[in-house]
Structure 1
Amino acid sequence: MKITPQIEALYLRFLSNEITEAELNRLLDYFNVAESADLHTLIEAELLDVDDEYHGNENLDRHLNNIHHIISASIDAADEKPRTVRLQPAFKSLLKIAASILVVLSIGYLGYTYLFKQADILPGRSLATLKLSNGHEINLDTLANQAIATVNGVQITKLAGDRIVYTHVNAVSDTNSYLQTITTPLGGKYKVTLTDGTQVVLNSGSTLTFPIGFNQAQRRVTLSGEAYFEVSKDAEHPFVVSSGRERITVLGTKFNISAYPDDDFISTALLEGKVNCLDVNTNSNLILHPGEAALIQNNQLSKSTVDVSDMAAWQQGFFAFENEELAVVMKRLSRWYQLDVDYTSIPEKRIYARINMQENLTTVLDMLSITSGLKFKIEGRRVTVMK
């Protein structure tokens, strides 16, 4: 990331003790991603000024050793007055050295809930791999708006953004035997329109297997992970989703299923219509109505009244945590930000928060810290919860 006039202006405001909190955040974000050569160019002039001031000064080493104490003092000041960042005028000359050394050493943002903010971790994005019925795999994020293939009378098209669409172009007798698989990696999300018009949004770390077209009594798909469905109505051809030990049967409806293999539960939340939930292990079943959720856990199938809009908020770009266990919250974050979470450090805590999924990780953890009173330590992609 090259130096811009805006970055230079922010740096000068920093050294003149006029920078605001928001401006400091932007400057330090630049420090984290800039090339070393660009950083040296940015600070060279100020270092020369400082060198003239301190040339031959035997106390320079002592001043440099005190830099971290000044940094700590500025953090305390920021905690006391979170809306602005002000440093004492007496530190002006030493601040120039401190700021430059911070850059050179790549010491990141010393924030309100972290001791060190490393290069920020970006949120997930539209990523998926499509495996065709012939075994050929396509990385969808490398494709432009274009037709991908035509298989047995069905055209597969990649639309601009994050969706693939299956469309009948010729009448054929057999499409169910041509299975397709779309997989989102951790940190990925993608949308699919099936040949019957059903809309599916896949969350990160999920896989959907489906026929290229539906021409049998039931429209069957298989899910591993989490997906939001808006099923096209067809009274004569029920839509069936198999996800682990659960089987959902619907005619036309909107619902969300979370069935990750590494979770100890499967949950289904119904927004519209009516669905039948079957636990294939125990052969028990129940009917869901809008505003209800089914849960399979500990060999039991149960249902409850919930705010189903929160359970499906992820497909609209939000984390919605309503009295959610912190361990569950961190697992959801780990899938979206590709984190290694230290679950042994997580206390029993319930979280209430609604957060935009396009925020960088540190912003998300800042918000969780405010609502929970906890602190979070980031080391690379490993996150530890600190009481």
Structure 2
Amino acid sequence: MKFSEEHIVSLIIAYQERVISDEEINELSEWLDADPDHANKFAKYLALLKEGKAVSQFDQIKSDEAWTKISKSLTMPKKETKVRKLKTWFPHVAAVVVVSLVSYFVLHQVSSDFDSNKTYNFAEVSTIGSKKAILTLEGGQKLKLEKNLTKVISEIDGTRINKDSTNSLTYNNSQSHKTKLIYNRIDVPRGGEYNLILADGTRVWLNSQSSLRYPVQFMGKTRQVELTGEGYFEVAHNPKQAFIIKARDTEVKVLGTKFNVSTYDDEEFIATTLIEGSVELSSLGEKIRLKPGFQAVIKRGDDEFQIQAVNTDLYTSWMKGVFEFRNHSLEDICHQLSRWYSVEFFFVENQYRQLRFTGAVKREKSIDFALEMIEKMANVKFAIKDDKIIVGRPTD
């Protein structure tokens, strides 16, 4: 039987994530037996996908070593496990493969010019984030929310929006009769953050590269908003009107509570962290209820939540002006720094992506402080190439 390239990739992902069915094991074995070169192709796919973070847990893969592990695993008894829907992931996997190949050539060129002995001023290619955003009114008018500017804005339904000197927005609960929902949207750019109080008293903090679409006045049986990026919510209690956050395929439903939602477009996962109260999560028909001190994570396009107890401070410190990391990978740390300081990172070698760090940095400090701290803790060096920060090893 001849299998398409798409089907082979889906089988390899299922095998790597240990969610492969008996039928798929047979198909994979048949494909491996059909051509001796398929073993090398199998191992190369695993290595390439690992570099792109589509799959994980294979360190320093070599073709023969990988095949030894694979051949042993294929003959071992399999644990019963839920088989996920994999075909919906192939477009993402294909994109990862293309990005990985392009990144290889870019990084090869960058690494040839890497000079770790030079002293760099990283402030030249980065900026410290600040409180800023763009407010879009119902009619499409865009207002730049700047510091030290007090202003009263009126919406078409008579709602008064107060912008105070601290650069925060407050929506006043209008007493006028409401006949339809009027929407506003706040877009927080890279290197920004913002906070506002909705008409029902709910407080919202938005992280960099985030947006929130919401009614200026709530009506009906629900209070529904749409989030992209990351937001921390303190929802005003109202048992007669549930508060719902739409985040791609996931809904977060609450009556009154404190929690954080991270749903960036460039990340595979949606993470909801509950600080106090109770929330109900639903995605593609699957529903769960979360308890305080727990986090629910779900892959984009999936219908199965992964729940774990967490230190909630790690996921809410950003809205208190602090980066806090505990055993985080350097790749994840750089990803967060890039949003706040408006700068891109490039890794000369993939081994540096998975270095783990624990620490805390105030967001008001320059990026030099954070990078210097990382350099002191590990055998890694940062440099500048064009307008990017390069991550590599010190020159001997």
Report TM bin, short chain: 0.5 to 0.7
- Equivalent residue letter for 2:313: S
Alpha carbon RMSD of aligned pairs, Å?
Answer: 1.8
Residues 205 and 113 of structure 1, relative CA distance in 2, 3 Å threshold: farther
Q: Cα distance, 1:375 vs. partner?
A: 1.4
Q: Cα distance, 1:151 vs. partner?
A: 3.3
Residues 386 and 126 of structure 1, relative CA distance in 2, 3 Å threshold: same
Q: Cα distance, 1:352 vs. partner?
A: 0.8
**Contact kept in structure 2, 1:340 and 1:382, CA below 8 Å:** yes
| Counterpart in the other structure of 1:166 | 171
Pick from 153, 156, 161: which aligns with 1:151? 156
| Counterpart in the other structure of 2:231 | 227
| Counterpart in the other structure of 1:137 | 142
What stretches of structure 1 of length at least 5 have no aligned partner? 1-111
Q: Cα distance, 1:244 vs. partner?
A: 1.3
Superposition pairs for residues 282-361 of structure 1, below 5 Å? 283-297=285-299, 299=302, 300-343=304-347, 345-346=349-350, 347=352, 348-361=354-367
- Equivalent residue letter for 2:247: S
| Counterpart in the other structure of 2:244 | 240
What stretches of structure 2 of length at least 5 have no aligned partner? 1-115
- Equivalent residue letter for 1:144: L
**Contact kept in structure 1, 2:128 and 2:341, CA below 8 Å:** yes
Superposition pairs for residues 21-36 of structure 1, below 5 Å? none
Q: Cα distance, 1:323 vs. partner?
A: 1.3
| Counterpart in the other structure of 2:370 | 364
Deviation per CA, 1:42-91, whole angstroms, max 9, x where unpaired?
xxxxxxxxxxxxxxxxxxxxxxxxxxxxxxxxxxxxxxxxxxxxxxxxxx
- Among all aligned residue pairs of Structure 1 and Structure 2, give the percentage whose two residues are the same amino acid: 29
Structure 2: distance between partners of 1:123 and 1:114? 23
Pick from 101, 113, 126: which aligns with 2:131? 126
**Contact kept in structure 1, 2:138 and 2:155, CA below 8 Å:** no
Structure 1: distance between partners of 2:189 and 2:135? 11
| Counterpart in the other structure of 1:87 | none
Structure 1: distance between partners of 2:117 and 2:363? 20
Structure 2 residue matching 1:314: 3-state secondary structure? helix
Structure 2: distance between partners of 1:323 and 1:147? 45
Deviates more, 1:374-383 or 1:133-142: 374-383
Q: TM-score, normalised by structure 2?
A: 0.66
Structure 2: distance between partners of 1:224 and 1:237? 23
Deviation per CA, 1:201-221, whole angstroms, max 9, x where unpaired?
010100100011101100000
Q: Cα distance, 1:116 vs. partner?
A: 2.4
**Contact kept in structure 1, 2:122 and 2:368, CA below 8 Å:** no
Which has the greater radius of gyration? 1
Residues 115 and 345 of structure 1, relative CA distance in 2, 3 Å threshold: farther
Larger RCO of the pair (alpha carbons < 8 Å, separation 6+): 2
Q: Cα distance, 1:143 vs. partner?
A: 6.7
Residues 157 and 235 of structure 1, relative CA distance in 2, 3 Å threshold: same
| Counterpart in the other structure of 2:390 | 384
Q: TM-score, normalised by structure 1?
A: 0.67
**Contact kept in structure 1, 2:131 and 2:147, CA below 8 Å:** no
- Equivalent residue letter for 1:353: G
- Equivalent residue letter for 1:292: F
Superposition pairs for residues 176-187 of structure 1, below 5 Å? 176=181, 178-187=182-191
Structure 1: distance between partners of 2:170 and 2:386? 37
| Counterpart in the other structure of 1:25 | none
Pick from 263, 267, 280: which aligns with 1:276? 280
| Counterpart in the other structure of 2:216 | 212
Structure 1: distance between partners of 2:148 and 2:245? 28
Deviates more, 1:368-377 or 1:205-214: 368-377
Length, aligned pairs only: 273
Residues 297 and 372 of structure 1, relative CA distance in 2, 3 Å threshold: farther
